[in-house]
Structure 1
Amino acid sequence: MSNDQGSVLAVANQEQQPINAKQIIKDPMYLEFLGLKRESSYYEKDLEAAIITHLQEFLLELGNGFSY
């Protein structure tokens, strides 16, 4: 799912070592489902709170008696 699949496959095959993290990290991240405002950066606490809230809403949708 990387934008640069050739580089990722080369690293996986040990043909080259990554120079920086951008060579192996998927980009971009799709976070629309969290309902965050469009910004260039987020605090980790805001991202964590949005994920927890979304997960809580999802579990409540599953109904009474569901546990994980």
Structure 2
Amino acid sequence: MSWSHYFEILKADNNLEIEFYTKQCEKENWSVRELRRQMKSMLFHRVALSKDKEGVLAIANKGAEINQPSGIIKQPYVFEFAGIPEKYPFLEGELEEKLISNLEAFLLELGKGFAFIGRQYRITLSNRHFYVDLVFYHYKLKCFVLIDLLCGVQHKN
């Protein structure tokens, strides 16, 4: 890691967070730009909220080890790169358009192993057609990941 990596990591709040970002940089080979993005999106805190304390300590000591499919899907996702204000009531079509126009950043937020397949992908079940907003393939899990965007705002036509 470069001096710039250490300079950014030392801005963290506590030793556990510093260890976490250091191990993740080493394991994931993050650029300084990616490290800044992960720290700004509070990856450490999101992992801490989704896992037990011993799990976070283990991640800080040896990096994130993914043993189950549930470990690959983050909760929650942070889409700051889409440029939509936090309190702005947007339509799912707007969100989809923003995510597609920022596909590289979106794939980085999803995590390792995701490959983009398509958008508004038609799926037929029992002779009924459905359209999935975004379709990805996860090469480690060897399965498709279907994302149906749902925004809580309903607009009348």
> Which TM bucket (shorter chain)?
0.3 to 0.5
Larger RCO, structure (CA 8 Å, separation 6 or more): 1
Question: Higher strand share goes to which structure?
Answer: 2
Q: What's the TM-score once normalised by structure 1's chain length? A: 0.38
Q: What's the TM-score once normalised by structure 2's chain length? A: 0.20
